[in-house]
A = this chain, B = another copy of it.
């Protein structure tokens, strides 16, 4: 088995995630988080909130509807533009995503080509239906939103939101008043988005129903070259893969101050880019060489995105750098669009000026970030497989085992387990197998420290603590266990100094 299969195998078997509705033969692109996956996802989302809502007192989370009326997507442009190119077999009528088909058959990058260009490539290269060999029809656009009918008359049409972003734009007016008319104002949403992909591939990475964590920052365009806490990041080094350097495959490492002065990127933009990179490198402990920001060239980005960098992580399972987040300067495109489409006045009076605020969007795909973490921290050794997840996303942090299932060891172990659990440590208790097997199982789900209660525990009130990463063991006093674990989680002490090495 390759690495992707190995990870999927652990994920489905241990309860990270598995296809939804498996009894019925699942539909591609729909997955369910099991108990471990949900713990991990919740930790990721809460960390995200803590970091990004913590940037400014005026950044808050809201929760909008997944179902929104048709007019919203007329104004946003999704009805017209949110399309994938589709081609259909003349004979078997199977439908294919035209760009994928061309890429598969000709090993050629066709990103950004329109339906006529794709049709021409199919004709010029005499591409046929991969299933039955018949001719393919002309490429046309297929809208990727799920349509539904509201109410009993069926006349009202709604769509499932293909991104969380529209809700903050629709809430702008209410929230600006409720948040006492201050800018910048941030409105985040962590929620589901839905896209009717023609044929989702890449397993857990491209989904039809998925979770986004997005922050929309509304600001005064005259203030775009200001950032309150600029000093905290001005010397921080960004890892940029600039569009002009794409061919030479050259990475630019540049401090924020220079990104602002030499690359002419505005401070508000650079500031948030730095915070995003710090989130990956410092909080999620991603090795820096695995991370970069890829700049999108003008013909690659949406016309309303004036500046667009995607955060990318290099994943072995997906064969290279793949997008996990993005930072988009969307100008006044969204609010203007809704203002025109609805007739609602979204201009504000602020700082003695009248204007429509501009938007900076920080966008993260939660599920694909989790996949990236599994890819990066999956580790195979001769005798074991471990997920070396950092504490901030590990679903189970500690496990407690009695060495044998007798001699009052289970009672003592349960007591220690209960105390940890009451103190909100994510802890697992098991007394049903051999210690060796329990260690392997815990390594596989990323549990950081394993506590074993043995006969010595009954004598001197010490326990063995095993470190997932190097399998080293220390002896710690029972009464110090909780505090020791807390320090280990926060990396306030080194493992080998946290107790007596054995």
Contacts and interface: CB of A to CB of B under 8 A. Distances in A.
Interface of A: 12-15, 18, 20-24, 27, 30-39, 41-42, 57, 60-69, 71-72, 86, 93-95, 142, 146-153, 156, 158, 160, 167, 170-171, 173-175, 177-180, 187, 192, 194, 196, 198-199, 208-209, 338-339, 341-344, 421, 429-430, 432
A170 B20 contact: yes
B24 A71 contact: yes
18 contacts: A13-B177, A20-B64, A21-B71, A22-B174, A32-B64, A34-B174, A35-B60, A35-B187, A37-B62, A38-B63, A57-B421, A65-B209, A66-B66, A66-B192, A148-B148, A148-B160, A152-B198, A180-B432
A178 B57 contact: no
Contacts of A21: 65, 68-69, 71-72, 170
Contacts of A171: 18, 32, 34
Number of identical protomers? 2
B72 A32 contact: no
Nearest to A20: B65
A387 B467 CA distance: 49
A23 B60 contact: no
A153 B69 CA distance: 24
Contact of A147 (B32, B148, B194): B148
Task: Please name the 3 residue pairs, one residue from A and one from B, whose CB atoms are nearest each other, closest first.
Answer: A15-B178, A35-B60, A23-B342
A200 B199 CA distance: 36
Given A62-B38, A64-B32, A148-B146, A178 B13 contact: yes
B67 A208 contact: yes
A71 B64 CA distance: 29
B142 A152 contact: yes
Contacts of A179: 15, 35
A344 B21 CA distance: 11
Nearest to A30: B65
A404 to B, nearest CB: 19
Nearest to A15: B178
Given A21-B69, A23-B338, A67-B194, A199 B151 contact: yes
Nearest to A24: B71
A150 B21 CA distance: 14
A61 B32 contact: no
A314 B32 CA distance: 37
Contacts of A177: 13
Contact of A66 (B22, B71, B209): B209
A152 B95 contact: yes
A178 to B, nearest CB: 3
Contacts of A198: 151-152
A173 B12 contact: no
Contacts of A194: 66-67
A490 to B, nearest CB: 15
A171 B35 CA distance: 10
A150 B20 CA distance: 14
A181 B167 CA distance: 42
Nearest to A427: B57
Given A27-B158, A64-B20, A342-B23, A15 B174 contact: yes
Given A15-B178, A69-B21, A167-B20, A27 B342 contact: no
Contact of A150 (B27, B153, B430): B27
Given A15-B175, A21-B65, A23-B342, 19 more contacts: A15-B179, A20-B65, A21-B68, A21-B72, A22-B174, A24-B71, A24-B342, A30-B68, A31-B65, A32-B65, A33-B62, A33-B64, A34-B174, A35-B62, A35-B175, A35-B178, A41-B63, A86-B152, A148-B148
Q: From A31, A38, A167, A342, name the one whose CB has the most chain B CB atoms within 10 angstroms.
A: A38
A331 to B, nearest CB: 19
